[in-house]
Structure 1
Amino acid sequence: MPTTIDASFIDSLPANVAVQFLERVAKSPQREAFRYPVGEDWKSITWKQAGDDVSRIAAGLLSLGVQAEQRVGIASGTRYEWILADLGIMCAGAATTTVYPSTNEDDTAYILSDSECQVVFAEDDAQIAKLTSRKAELPALRKVITFDGTADGDWVIGLADLEKLGDAYLAEHPGVIEDTAKSIRPDQLATLIYTSGTTGRPKGVRLRHSSWVYEGEAIRAQDILSEDDVEFRWLPMAHSFGKVLMSTQMACGFAAAIDGRVDKIIDNLAIVKPTFMGAAPRIFEKAHGRIMTMQAAEGGAKEKIFNQAFKVGLQVEQLKRDGKSVPLLLSVQHTLFDRLVFSKIRDRFGGRVRFFISGAAALNRDIAEWFNAAGIVILEGYGLTESSAGSFVNLPRDYRFGTVGPVFPASDVKLGEGDEVMIKGPGVMDGYHNLPEETAKTLTEDGWLKTGDKGALDADGYLRITGRIKELFKTSGGKYIAPPAIEAKFKAICPYASQFMVFGNERNYVVALITLDPDALPGWAAENGVSGDYAAIVKSDACRQMVAGYVDELNKNLNRWETIKKWELLDHDLTVESGELTPSMKVKRNVVEDNYKKLIDDFYS
């Protein structure tokens, strides 16, 4: 039976994020709060030091005349200054509007205009240039504050300049930050996060202070994390997943190492040695693929030992889940393989990971079980920007593969029409900014959030996501297809896969467009005598034969009507810059389908 979690914490939540942060500073002043890279070293910051930095920024914003609930934007990658800016905005009573650094100029201007941002924190000259070129479209924008960019001393000032303004304001108004924090209502707007959206303009999701406070305190109540943990945080802070981790950090008091450079994740894990990390499934897919291809390249006895280790590991873990004892001989083998194989894999992630948390998209069960066999637990969770990111999560002491866990304490779940997952609770948004009709489509009159995802609940309330309602399609033969399930299976089988996109709505069979991982492909090409750039490699007969083998393997495990009858390799991987991925790395399926309409139609000629 699942652990019952006491929901009484809901009666004693901090009033708002500002109070939550200030209470953490007072409770843990000398404990480490953050660390971040400076050159080749890492600088450590205590909660007291972070509190002082945030107070100066908040006071600086107040000196600029920022009022309660007015929007202040952040256009930056994940870094320590992002955290300071966000907390400073909320401690000043204003509301953060997040912008991915990869967001194009048009959407950046739209987001900042629609939200009526008064001030924007811009990471560098590239972000400043987006604002400068669209200045005429941003009449509300009075000041730009840059972390690393070029200040002009007028419209654009540096972060140090803002802090100086803050110091002067604090000298004139002692106690202003504490007083402002106390004045913020729980239902006051804290954040506007614009959904990256796979179609149409981004929609601004309005999230209250009480929503973020609830998210962090709900995780603390589940006893998942403590102040002794160490998080490595690379996730985009413009995404709700990153934001909920920050709320959780304030609730639990652990330290977080901050570095948003994706290409540095593996190097940083070895240095930071975290006890947990949040990530999207693509990170685990790439890590799994990389380890598998490296081992295959070793060949010989090492590859045989590796494969046997996982055969034993998966068998042992299955016996444990079934409540059965592990035979002595199998246990001895497992201990040996743990030393020879699994410990080395764990060391690649720093050697101290208690668990990873996977969110933002569906995690393939086979990959989760593979990591689990190596002693690395991945706890899958689920939520939407519209529910402040976290609504469900598996627990370290009771996790079930293929599910996203039980609903958060003090929240509710039910299945609506067509088994649509519906959520109600303190994390649910107020609505979409300036879009009352869209809000009415998504929120029922009695407060239920319609997620658009199809699901199933087991007897203990563990949720399994079975598909995205809008992505489900029906073949001309009347069979329903759930593309994400098939796509995830291929990525688990093929270590070189990047994207696998399934199509076939109202057609008589299913087809796929495939891209390969640009980081993994050169290694494969060198081992197989193929030369050239990405486009040349994927055109080669050897590459097509390799992919064909994996498609055949996939088809063996699909229902007849789901099997991939035809497929094609694209001459490039999908990117945010090409407009085929959202900034949170989700495929814009409609864009891809439009871009390759002729190719898809030709499959059926």
Structure 2
Amino acid sequence: MTDYKYPLHPYHKITDLKDMLEQAAGKHPDNVAFLTKPVKGEPYVPVSYRQYNADVEAVGTMLLELGFSPDSRLAIVAETRYEWYVSYLAGMNGEATMVPIDKELHSEELLSLFNRSYCDGIIYSPQFAESIESVASQVPTLKHLILMNDPSFATGKIEEDDSDTAYDGPSEIKRTDGKAVPVTLFNDLLRDGRKLLAEGDQRFRQVEVDAEEVRVLLFTSGTTDKSKCVMHSHKTICANIMEMGQLLFIGLNNDDVVLSVLPLNHTYE
């Protein structure tokens, strides 16, 4: 193997993912972090680092309000969409351990991973509501279901008096032991989190991240055998970000766009 001989891009140091986002929002608040398409056929809507950080803080604050603690596991099952990015860092930068799950799995496979990871909560999109809600009753550790119900918040246009009358799904799922698991709408989570922050709630902002703690449970594809669970920390993910950043960002500038193609449950994506 020959040594790498090309110049490396000077990539700034990050200690954890919370530090990464706070640095980005502080240094480049108005730069575009994401181009989202909330409505099919409509133009892309830019989301700045300032807004992304604010949305993560709002949802993260509400996850703490709902009781997601250092012992909690929170799964995400959804297609690539802005709420996925918000949910992931809201949990990671708070106190939950995240469990990103392959959206292509069948119901019985989803159930197996929910139970193997001892999930306390599941964040999911309408596309997978039927399969997830059909097995949720069989997850004895489950306490919360959070449905990504409406992409309009990505435009920053959610108002205080918005109602979610379009949602006609269940308000709760009964577990097999008889306990009710509430279904919370993502927009409500975001709106209520914004209110708590406006009232001075600092819980999420004051969380001190231990970069070496296990904070992600990642299941392999299980192509040749039963899927394995790989444990990741802020430190392992940040090490990859900094190392790859030295290679990928050579010659890139603020006007360049990076296309995300892989499913978001892939670690580096």
Tell me the TM-score range normalised by the shorter chain. 0.7 to 0.9
Deviations 1:455-478 (A, max 9, x none): xxxxxxxxxxxxxxxxxxxxxxxx
**Contact 2:13–2:242 (CA under 8 A) maintained in structure 1:** yes
Distance 1:236 1:150, change over 3 A: farther
**Contact 1:71–1:115 (CA under 8 A) maintained in structure 2:** yes
Choose which of 212, 215, 219 in structure 2 pairs with 1:187: 212
Distance 2:119 2:98 in 1: 9
Deviations 1:355-393 (A, max 9, x none): xxxxxxxxxxxxxxxxxxxxxxxxxxxxxxxxxxxxxxx
| 1:75 equivalent in alignment to 2:100 | no
Choose which of 1, 4, 8 in structure 2 pairs with 1:2: 4
| 1:200 equivalent in alignment to 2:202 | no
Distance 2:257 2:61 in 1: 30
Q: Match of 2:128, as an amino acid?
A: Q
**Contact 1:72–1:120 (CA under 8 A) maintained in structure 2:** yes
**Contact 1:15–1:185 (CA under 8 A) maintained in structure 2:** no
| 1:232 equivalent in alignment to 2:259 | yes
Q: Which residue of 1 aligns with 2:197?
A: 170
**Contact 1:77–1:100 (CA under 8 A) maintained in structure 2:** no
**Contact 1:69–1:189 (CA under 8 A) maintained in structure 2:** no
Q: How does 1:72-151 map to 2 (within 5 A)?
A: 72-124=74-126, 126-148=127-149, 150-151=168-169
Instruction: State how many pairs are aligned.
Output: 237
Q: How does 1:276-295 map to 2 (within 5 A)?
A: none
Distance 1:99 1:2, change over 3 A: closer
Q: Match of 1:140, as an amino acid?
A: T
Distance 1:22 1:161 in 2: 24
Choose which of 40, 51, 54 in structure 1 pairs with 2:53: 51
**Bigger relative contact order (CA 8 A; separation at least 6):** 2
Q: Which residue of 1 aligns with 2:179?
A: none
Deviation, 1:13, is 3.9
Distance 1:212 1:150, change over 3 A: farther
Residue 240 of structure 2 aligns to a residue in which SS?
A: helix
Residue 73 of structure 1 aligns to a residue in which SS?
A: strand
Give identity over the alignment, percent: 21
**Contact 2:56–2:90 (CA under 8 A) maintained in structure 1:** yes
TM-score (ref. length: structure 1): 0.37
Residue 157 of structure 1 aligns to a residue in which SS?
A: strand
Q: Which residue of 1 aligns with 2:63?
A: 61
Choose which of 185, 203, 221 in structure 1 pairs with 2:246: 221
Distance 1:173 1:117, change over 3 A: farther
Distance 1:219 1:143, change over 3 A: same
**Contact 2:60–2:91 (CA under 8 A) maintained in structure 1:** yes
Specify every segment of 5 or more residues in structure 1 that has no aligned partner in the other structure, as ranges. Answer: 246-605
Q: Match of 2:133, as an amino acid?
A: T
**Contact 1:170–1:176 (CA under 8 A) maintained in structure 2:** no
Q: Match of 2:100, as an amino acid?
A: T
Q: Which residue of 2 aligns with 1:22?
A: 22
Deviation, 1:144, is 0.9
Q: Which residue of 2 aligns with 1:161?
A: 188
Deviation, 1:73, is 0.6
Distance 1:223 1:34 in 2: 18
Specify every segment of 5 or more residues in structure 2 that has no aligned partner in the other structure, as ranges. Answer: 150-166, 173-181
Distance 1:7 1:116, change over 3 A: farther
Distance 1:114 1:166 in 2: 30
* Bigger fraction of residues in helix: 1
**Contact 2:9–2:247 (CA under 8 A) maintained in structure 1:** no
Q: Match of 2:54, as an amino acid?
A: D
Deviation, 1:132, is 2.7
Distance 1:5 1:212, change over 3 A: farther
Distance 1:133 1:187 in 2: 36
Residue 231 of structure 1 aligns to a residue in which SS?
A: coil
**Contact 2:33–2:52 (CA under 8 A) maintained in structure 1:** yes
Deviation, 1:85, is 1.1
**Contact 2:99–2:216 (CA under 8 A) maintained in structure 1:** yes
Distance 1:178 1:5, change over 3 A: farther
Deviation, 1:230, is 1.0
Deviation, 1:204, is 1.3
Deviation, 1:173, is 4.7
Distance 1:7 1:66 in 2: 38
Residue 197 of structure 1 aligns to a residue in which SS?
A: coil
Deviation, 1:60, is 1.2
Distance 1:5 1:199 in 2: 39
Choose which of 152, 175, 196 in structure 1 pairs with 2:170: 152
Q: Which residue of 1 aligns with 2:162?
A: none
Distance 1:69 1:42 in 2: 38
**Contact 2:64–2:95 (CA under 8 A) maintained in structure 1:** no
**Contact 1:36–1:79 (CA under 8 A) maintained in structure 2:** yes
Deviation, 1:69, is 5.1
Distance 1:17 1:220 in 2: 14
Deviation, 1:7, is 11
Greater Rg over alpha carbons, structure: 1
Distance 1:200 1:223, change over 3 A: closer
Deviations 1:265-284 (A, max 9, x none): xxxxxxxxxxxxxxxxxxxx
Q: Match of 1:50, as an amino acid?
A: Y
**Contact 1:60–1:164 (CA under 8 A) maintained in structure 2:** no
Q: Match of 1:233, as an amino acid?
A: S
Q: How does 1:29-40 map to 2 (within 5 A)?
A: 29-37=29-37, 38-40=39-41
Distance 1:7 1:52 in 2: 29
Deviation, 1:71, is 1.3
Deviation, 1:234, is 2.4
Q: Match of 2:193, as an amino acid?
A: G
Distance 1:150 1:190 in 2: 34
Distance 1:83 1:223, change over 3 A: closer
Q: CA RMSD in A?
A: 2.4
Q: Match of 2:78, as an amino acid?
A: S
Deviation, 1:50, is 0.9
TM-score (ref. length: structure 2): 0.79
**Contact 2:122–2:144 (CA under 8 A) maintained in structure 1:** yes
Distance 1:30 1:224, change over 3 A: closer
